[in-house]
Structure 1
Amino acid sequence: MGKTTCLRGIYHQIEDYNTLHPENEISSIFATDIDQIDICDCLFLDDFGTKFNKRDFSTTENKEFVKLLQEVRTNIPVILVSSPSYFMLDKDLRNFFTPAQILSKSDARFLLNVSGATFSVPKPSDKLLKEFRDQELEERKNRFSRAMDKVKTAHAKKNGIKS
């Protein structure tokens, strides 16, 4: 539907604002994985429904992330998250977010609905999107390799094979 592209569009608007108003700079981070998160004014978490899935909530990582969100509310005032489905996130994590639906998209912009208000988000340029996509594909490949290592280790452990 264009979740990442829409998120990138909002992120790019902040970058444009910062260029025009360096005296009022808004710090922002576009994170595609947990190790990229840090304190900032506006944190973008792309595809985090896959990282903090409700089926994995009993993991230490998920529990600690919810605790972290409780602590950083005043340090990171705006957090935007994309997820294939809002309901992939555990209920405790969903309580931190207001869902936004992409109502429509065109070649130039997205229309978002957030709590009944409609927002227009311009799409980033094709050049910028290509750069983002190349980076995203590389990061996904790296995450796949790490996840596959975990699967292989679990499989070997299940079958009594020592690594």
Structure 2
Amino acid sequence: MAEEQLQRVETIFLNQIKDGHFCEISVLTDRLYVEGMENCFAGEKNITLAPDGKYYTCPAFYYHRKRVQEPEFVMTRLERSPVCKVCDAYQCERCVYLNKERTLEYNVPSELQCLKSHRERKRTMHLQEELEKNFPSVNFMRIAEVNYDDPCQKVMWMWG
């Protein structure tokens, strides 16, 4: 179902571009232009000062009353995530709140989050091919072919 939805969105996007209307669809177009992870960097570059006067990793932690202790902010950093730091699905949300909710770790994404991001990545590769056919003078960041759908597989191969 998600594949079909992404394909429909890609078709709509391509029709808009061909009609001369520039638009962006973050899950499909962001990966064409970025060279590194682009997410909210909750707890790393951004924190939430809530109405209760306390600091939270992000508004979701405040809303669910799950306060992060200061030393735990270090665990939200990209370099502390063995899976995310080897992944190039740069459009991924990399939501530390969802990580903590689904895996009990700030720096370990759920399989669902990774599979979603890699479906988007694959669809972006297809979009890139279509754009290059229709607009050969436009250059995009090259997206390499990978042989996995979940970067956890790549980490497991690396660790043997």
What TM-score does the superposition give when structure 2 sets the normalisation length?
A: 0.25
Report the structure, 1 or 2, having the larger strand content. 1
Q: Which has the higher contact order (CA 8 A, sep 6+)?
A: 2
TM-score, length-scaled by structure 1: 0.24
